[in-house]
Amino acid sequence: MGRTLPSYRMVLEKERAIWQSHYANRLRDARHRTSFDELWLFAFQLADAASANTRPVAFDNIVMSMLVAQQSEIKRLKTEVEKLERKISRTIRPPELNPNY
């Protein structure tokens, strides 16, 4: 019988443990540690898509998952900012343009 390859999730867990011990444990700012954890959460959330990609270096898939999740969050936040800007522009107008003044 041939050797069994570890699942992508097992590789992901191992990579995270390595980065945790060699990098995250040295982050002094709690905000940076939280960001580190959030990035890895993104990687785990998109593990199904990443495991379908047969890249020889697992870290490529991990980083791509993190980037995709961050881009989604950026788009969501941009949409929220645009909504708030429209709301503000409707409520704060010069008196001559505001019929409720």
Task: Tell me the mean pLDDT per 10 residues along the chain, length 101.
Answer: 81 94 93 94 93 84 94 96 91 65 52
Tokens of 67: 């980037």
| Domain span holding position 75 | 8-93
Largest interatomic CA distance in the chain: 83
Residue 101 resides in a domain? no
CA atoms of 3 and 23, how far apart (whole Å) = 31
Residue 98: inside a domain, yes or no? no
Show Cβ contacts of residue 39 under 8 Å, excluding neighbours closer than 6 positions. 66, 70
Say how many CA atoms lie within 13 Å of 34 toward its Cβ: 3
**Looking at residue 54, what is its pLDDT?**
77
pLDDT for position 99 = 59
pLDDT at 85: 92
Is residue 2 in some structural domain? Answer: no
Query: Is there a contact between 26 and 72 (Cβ–Cβ < 8 Å)?
Result: no
99 in any annotated domain? no
Residue 1 lies in a domain: no
**Number of domains forming the structure of the chain:** 1
Residue 83 structure tokens:
């909504």
CA-closest candidate to residue 61, choices 52, 70, 73? 52
Query: Given this model, what pLDDT does residue 92 score?
Result: 75
